[in-house]
Amino acid sequence: MTSVADVPCGRQWRREARIVGGESANPGEFPWLVSITRRGGHFCGGALVNKKWVVTAAHCMCSGPVELPVEHIRVTVGEHDLSKRETPPSQEIRVRRLVLYPGYQCERFNHDIALLELDDEVGWSESAWPICLPQAGETSFSGREATAAGWGWLHENSAHGGRANVLQKVTLLVVDNDTCRSWYKSKGKKTKILDSQMCAGYEHGSRDSCWADSGGPLMVRDDGLITLVGVISTGIGCARPKLPGLYTRVSNYSTWIRTHVQAP
C-alpha cells in the first residue's frame, strides 16, 4: 500500500467486530468515504486520498453522453446519515476541477475512474481521513475478503427497499477475472470483463453493491490499515447469482492518480 497524504492513510477511528445483504456502518468507520451531490441530492460515492483529492467513478461525472459541469458538483466529507445533521458537522466542499481518465467515454465502463480536485483542503479528524492506495500493478487481490460501502439502494427492485440514509457496508469476496468471465458467460451475458476491472461478490448472489453506490470504495484491510482496491463501477442487476459486481481495478491506475494528486 502507499499514501499520497500528509497523515498516515487508511486508519479507522471507530470500528466494531445501495448495498444489498449488508448492514449499517458505524459513524467514523470509513472516514475517507464522501457523498457526491448535485443540486443537494446524493448521487455517487467517492474516497479521499489526500486533503484536496477524491477518487470516484468516471461515469458518475456524466449525464448521458455529456460531462457534468464541475460547478454543479459538491463533495460532502464526514457524512454518515444523509437525513440529518452530523455531529461533528459534515463539510460540504465545492469541486475545483474534474479529471477523467484519458480516453474515458461517457456511458462506457472502460477506464471508469475520475479524480475530483476540491476547492478547499479537508481538515483531518476522526470523521475525515484519507484511504491508502495500492502499489501500481499490485496483486490481483483474488480470494480476498473486501468491503464495499455506500448509500445505495437496498434492493434491486426499489419497491422492496429504498435508498439508504445511513451509510451501508457489505463484505464481498474478490473473484478472479477468469472465474468471473465464466460465471457471466454461464448466465448468457456478453459483458466484456477487462483486466482493468475486478469482480467482487458471491457465486450464490445475495450480497452486492448497487447502482447508487457508484464511485464508492472497495476496500481491503492489511495490518489494520485500509486500502482502496476497487471503485464501484457497474454490474447486471443486484446480488444475482454468478453476476458479481464490477469494479475499476485501482492498482492499474495508481501511477496516474499519484501523478495528479502529488503535483505541486
Model pLDDT for residues 188-227, shown as the tens digit of each residue: 998 899 999 999 998 886 665 554 478 999 999 999 999 9
Tell me how far apart the alpha carbons of residues 93 and 43 are, in angstroms, rounded to a whole number. 15
Tell me how far apart the alpha carbons of residues 86 and 91 are, in angstroms, rounded to a whole number. 9
Q: Does CATH number 2.40.10.10 belong to domain 31-130+253-261?
A: yes
Q: Kindly list the catalytic residues.
A: 59, 112, 214
Question: What separation in angstroms does the CA of 50 have from each of 121, 128, 160, 165?
Answer: 9, 10, 37, 26
Tell me how far apart the alpha carbons of residues 250 and 263 are, in angstroms, rounded to a whole number. 19
> In Å, how far from its chain's centre is CA 193?
18
Same CATH fold assignment for domains 31-130+253-261 and 144-251: yes
Q: What's the half-sphere exposure (Cβ side, CA atoms, 13 Å) at 151?
A: 20
Residue boundaries of the structural domains of the chain: 31-130+253-261, 144-251
Reduced 3-state DSSP string for the chain: CECCCCCCCCCCCCCCCCEECCEECCCCCCCCEEEEEECCEEEEEEEECCCCEEEECHHHHEECCEECCHHHEEEEECCCECCCCCCCCCEEEEEEEEEECCCCCCCCCCCCCEEEEECCCCCCECCECCCEECCCCCCCCCCCEEEEEECCECCCCCCCCCECCECEEEEEEEECHHHHHHHHHHCCCCCCCCCCEEEEECCCCCCEECHHHCCCEEEEEECCEEEEEEEEEECCCCCCCCCCEEEEEHHHCHHHHHHHHCCC
What pTM value is reported for the model? 0.92
- Rg, Å, the chain Cα set: 17
Instruction: Read off the C-alpha cell for 30.
Output: 470509513
Tell me how far apart the alpha carbons of residues 196 and 193 are, in angstroms, rounded to a whole number. 8
> In Å, how far from its chain's centre is CA 257?
15
Domain covering 144-251 in this structure, CATH number: 2.40.10.10
pLDDT per residue of the chain (264 residues) written in tens, 0 to 9: 889 999 999 998 765 434 556 778 888 899 999 999 998 889 899 999 999 999 999 999 999 999 999 999 999 999 999 999 988 889 999 999 999 999 899 988 899 999 999 999 999 999 999 999 999 987 789 999 999 998 876 665 555 666 778 898 888 999 999 999 999 999 999 889 999 999 999 888 666 555 447 899 999 999 999 999 999 998 776 768 888 889 999 999 999 999 999 866
Tell me how far apart the alpha carbons of residues 166 and 84 are, in angstroms, rounded to a whole number. 10
User: ∠36-14-239 over CA atoms, to 5°?
Assistant: 55
